[in-house]
A and B are shown apart, each in its own frame.
Chain A
Amino acid sequence: GNSVTQMEGPVTLSEEAFLTINCTYTATGYPSLFWYVQYPGEGLQLLLKATKADDKGSNKGFEATYRKETTSFHLEKGSVQVSDSAVYFCALRDYGQNFVFGPGTRLSVLP
């Protein structure tokens, strides 16, 4: 079956540090890939997405590139802020109805 693997963390960084959160997936066909972010006490919000190989999704300084050859969709940001502290979920959607989510990675950014 389809699955998503990501580092669970927690990841702790200082403000302005470079962020990478790894995400790899297993799926048949050509899934769409997503990153969602969850701030404390809130629901999940779409951060970015990519629907085909080599697409790059970007939003709020975050980027992720759909790499079919390595089945990866790593999230990066060049300079994190305290306000980026949250839990980040990688997810895929294949030809079916449903999403498959990774376990989430908690990020803490210290001032």
Chain B
Amino acid sequence: DAGITQSPRHKVTETGTPVTLRCHQTENHRYMYWYRQDPGHGLRLIHYSYGVKDTDKGEVSDGYSVSRSKTEDFLLTLESATSSQTSVYFCAISEGWRGQIQLGASGLEETQYFGPGTRLLVL
């Protein structure tokens, strides 16, 4: 199993409070992702990182920010939590991406590997 941990695993908070979720990897993979999983929507990408201090927005980034100061850690922050952010949050990592492989970069794995998830309830 890929070495990915998420903390906390469960959290209950109140509307308007800040929340930070942590993803930690021991694989030294360059790419890290945050998803949320909601019934009927599958997984939706919130933000991703393609290196230390390099991040970009995903499909559902409003209300979320991220930071990556070290290769192994990727933080997701809800600045002011709302009930609509009640969800299960998954972190994922990958070594490479398909474009790199198509360009002949060998030895890179494009598969994403997922952490165990964080269940967040905003009251």
Contact = CB atoms under 8 A, between A and B. Distances in A.
Chains A and B are bound partners: yes
Interface of A: 8, 31-32, 34, 36, 42-46, 49, 89, 93-99, 101-104
A101 B42 contact: yes
B42 A104 contact: yes
Contacts, number: 57
A92 B109 CA distance: 14
B107 interface: no
Interface in B26-56: 31, 33, 40-45, 48, 50, 56
A96 B96 CA distance: 10
A32 B110 contact: yes
B43 A101 contact: yes
A95 B98 contact: yes
Nearest to B58: A98
Which residue, of A32, A34, A96, has the highest number of chain B Cβ atoms within 10 A? A32
B41 A93 contact: no
Interface string B94-123: 000111001000000011111111000000
Contact-residue bracket for chain B = 20 to 34
A29 B42 CA distance: 23
Given A93-B110, A98-B45, A98-B48, A43 B98 contact: no
B90 interface: yes
Contacts of B40: 8, 103
Contacts of A96: 97-99
Nearest to B91: A43
A62 B41 CA distance: 24
Contacts of B98: 31-32, 93-96
A102 B42 contact: yes
Contacts of B90: 43-44
